[in-house]
Structure 1
C-alpha cells in the first residue's frame, strides 16, 4: 500500500464503511496545520475538512438509523395496538412503548373526564410514587393542564422552576414525590375529540429535542386513534349485547303471555333480568303485583311509591322516568288513552339503553295482560250483572235463578243483605262496579240494575255489611251504601232492593255520604224510606218502658213527657198544663230518667222520643195539631 492509501481521508472512509462511532473518527491524527512546510500544512487542512465531513456523515447515519428505529417502533406500536382489545392493555402498551422509544425514566398517560372537566392519571410506566399515580390535573393547571387546555405539546427541562406553567400544591407535590425534573407532554386528539395527554419525563434536567417531541406526538396520535377505536368497538359490542339482551327479554315476556302468565310472572321476570325489586300499581295506586324487597309500608299499600317524583313524571309524560333521590324508575302502563297502571323499579342501578328497552317492553306486555284480564273480568261481570238484574226485578224462573246463582258460587237459600252503592259523580260506574266486586268478597254477586250498583252479600246484618262495604270502597272515592234485608235470593229480593235504594237516597239527602247503613239503623229516617214501616215497633222501642209503667201503676208518665216537650222543656209550665204541682212533675221526670236512662234529653234521643209520641197520637186517631 502506498503513502496515499494511508491518508487520513482514506482512513476516515474506511472507518465510516465499518460503522465506527464518532469517537473513533475524532481520534484520527492528522498533520499539524502549524507546520512550516506548506505541503504538510495543506495536508492538515484537507485532513481536518475530511474529518468534519466524516463526522457529519456519521451524524446523518446515526440520525437516519435512529429515525428508522423510531419508525420501526411506531410500526410495531401500531401493530401491537391493533392486536389489543382491552382498553387498559392499550394504555399500558402506549406508556411502555413511549418510555422505551424516548429512553426516559418515566412515561404516563392521563385521560379526559368530560363530566369533571379535568384529566386523571390512567396509566404509568416507571413510576414509583403512589401519590403521583392518582393525581388529577384541572385544565390549565401544570404542564399537563396547559397541554389539555391548548391541545398543543409543551416540554420543560426543569419543571418545578419553570414559571410558564400554573403551579398548584397538589401537582407539584406529586411531581416532587416522583422525583421528576424534565417533562414533555403532548395531546391525544382525534379530529375534534380530545382524549387525554401522553407524557415522557426524566428525573434529571434533560432537554427534549424536537425529534423527541415529534416522536412523542406520533405515539400520541396512534394512542388517540387506538383509544377512540377501542371505545367505539366497545360501544358497538355493548350496544349489540344490549340489543340481544333486550330481544331475549322480549322473547321471555312473550313466552310468559303465550303460556297464560299474569302480571306476577312479568314483575318477577323483570326483577330477575335487572336484579332489583319491581312493583306494579293499578291506576288507583293499589299494588297489583310485586317482586323483591320493595320499600312498602306495613299495610302493603303503594301509597309511598305514588309519591315518587318518577311516578308523577311518568303519569304526566307516559315515558320512563327516574327519581335520583330515591334511585327509583317508573313507567306508565297504558292502552291508547287508557291508563292501566305504573311499573316502579328500584335497586337496579344505572339503566343502559338495552335495560330501558327491557323496561319499556315489560310495560307494553303488562298493558296487554291487564287488558286481557279486564276483558275477561268484563265478560264475567256481564254474567253477574244479568243475574243481579233478574233477581232484583223478579224476572225468570226461581229454579233457573237458583241454578245460575250456584254457578257463581252463591248459596241461594242463605240469608243475604241487599246493598246499593252510590259514588260521587267523578267516579265512573264501571270503576265502582269492578271495585265493589273486588271488595264484596267470596260468595257475593255484584251487578247493575236501573242505574244502580247492587251487591248481594251473604249476611244477616245489612247494617254491618253496608258499613263494611262503604269502608272498603272509601279508598276509591266517596261511596255511600244503603242496605236492606236479610232475605234469600229466591224470596222477596225485589222489595228488599227497593228498600235499599231508598236507604242510600236517604243517606245522601241527610248529608251522610261516604257511610253505610240500613233502614233499621236510620232511626226515624228508616220509617220514611222503609218499604213497610213498623210504626208500633218504633213506638215500643222508644216509649215501651213508660207505657208498661203507666199500665202497671196507672200513672201518667207518657202524658207528663208529652207535656214537658210541649212546654219547651219547662217543668213549671208543664205542671200548669197538667194542673199538678211542679214537684209532682219533677218527681215524674226523675222516674222517666230511671226508666229511659240519663241521656233521654240529649237532642238526638229527645227527637226520637218526640217522634214516637207524635206517631202514638196519630195512630190513636188524634189530630196532628193537638
Structure 2
C-alpha cells in the first residue's frame, strides 16, 4: 500500500525522475500490469496538464505585453518574437491582406534569413500563406516542396527553397467576420506540428487580431476626442477644466523649479486634488511620501500595471480603501508613482497623469544629481586618502569641512565590509538618519567613510547593538580619533589592517578598532613604527629573508605549527603535506631562529610576531 501511494504521488509530479524505475517494483502478475498502465495514464495526464498551464501562462504574458504597446510596428514585432519562442520554431512571421490586390504580404518576421522571403507577396489561394489568409482555420504542411495539393508559384518556390523552409503552419487573423491576414510559423526540417503548437498559433493569431483592432479603435477614438474637444472648446465646463489643468501645470512646474523637494511636490498635488497624495520614488528604497504598510505594498504592485496601460490603476485594499496609482515613466522606465485614496473623476486622472510626469522628471533629475554627489564624495575621499605631493589644497579642506572633517576637530575614518546587498541596506539605513552629510564612497566593493567623533559614535552604536545581526555580517573597522586631514591616509591604512585581522579572529565584533584586538592590535596600530619593525626584524629577520630569497613558506609553517599547539600531525594535515616535510621545515626553522624558538616566552614572542607579519603582509593565512 505504501509503495502504491508513493508511485501515485510520483505519477502526479511530471518532474519526478523516479517514477519509471518505481514501476518495476510492482508485481509482474496481471494486476501489477494493470496498475502500471493506470499509473502511466495518470503520469501522462499530469504532464499534459502541466504543459497546458505553462502554455496558458505564456499566452497570458504575451497578451499583457502586446496590450501595453501603442504602435502597430511594435505590436507586430512583439507578436512574431513571442510566437517563435512559445511554439519553438525556426521562424515566425505575419502577413496582412490587401483585398484590392487580392494578395497577402509579409510585414513582420523573426528568424527569417533572406530578403527574398521577407518580400513575399502571395496571391490568395496559392501556397500555404495564400490559403491561410483566406481560410476558416489553421493549415499546415509537413514538407512544402512535396505538398502537391497546393498551388505553387515558381518565384515563391525559389524563395522558399533558398530560405530552406520545409514545415509550415499558419492561422488566420480575424477582426469581426473579416480575415485581415495570417500568423505563420515554419521550420527548416520536415515534420508534423503537434496539437499544442497548432493551438498556440491559433490563440496567438486571435490575440494579434485583437491587438491590431484595439490600435485601430484607439486611433479612431483619439481622433474623435480631438474633434470633440475642438467643437466644445467654448463651453463653460470645458473652459473650467482647461483652467484647472493650466493652474495644475503652473503649480507643478513651480514645485519642479523650487527647492521644496518631494514633500513640497506632494503638498502641491494634494492641494490641487483636494485629498492627500503620496509619492513613491523607486530609485531609492526610502518612500518619499511616507507611504506605509499596505498602501506602500499596493502602490509598488500597481505601478507596473499603470506603466503597461499608461493610465491610472485602481485597487481596493483589504480594509475596503480604494487607492489609485499613476506610474511615473521616463524613457520607458518606471521611476515612481503618485498614490491617492478614493475614486477619481476624469479630470482628476488628467491631473494624475501630469503629476506623474512631473514626478518622473523630478526623480530623474534627483537621481542624476544623487549620482553626481556620490561621484564628488568618492573623488574627495580619494584625494584625502592619497593627497598630492604639494599637500591638500584649500578647496579640498573646505569640501571636507562640509562633512565635519577639519583640522583641530576630532573625527574618525572607517571601512565597512560585507555582502553587497547587506552593505547597500546598511548605507541606505544611514542615509535615512544622516542624509547626505556623511562623507562616504565605495572602493573595491567596500564602503569607506569619515565622520566627526559624535556622528561616528552614533554609527558604531547603530551597527554594534544586538539588532545589528540583520545587516548580515557587515563589519566596520575604524581608526582612532584623528585631528588632521593629513592623517586620513594612515587612518584608513590602519582600518584596513584591523579589518584583515578581524577576519582571522572569530571573536571580533561588528565594530572593531586596534584596541579591541588586544596585543595584535597594538602592533597593527604601530605597524610603521621603528619599534614594531625592529621587533619583526630582530625576531623573524632570518626567517623572513630565507622565505623571500628562496620562495619558501617557512613563516607559514612556523605559524601553523604554533597555532596547532606544536602538533606535527595536525600541522601536516592543515598544510596538506607529509609529516616528514613538516619535520624537515622545522629543522630549517630551528637552524635560522635557534633551538629555543618554540619554547617559553620566545615561543609566545614568535607566535605574536608571525601573526603580525602575516597581517601586515595583507594576505590571508595559506593554511
Same fold per TM (> 0.5)?
no
Bin the TM-score by the shorter chain: 0.3 to 0.5
- Using the size of structure 1 for normalisation, the TM-score is 0.40
Q: Which has the larger radius of gyration?
A: 1
- Using the size of structure 2 for normalisation, the TM-score is 0.40
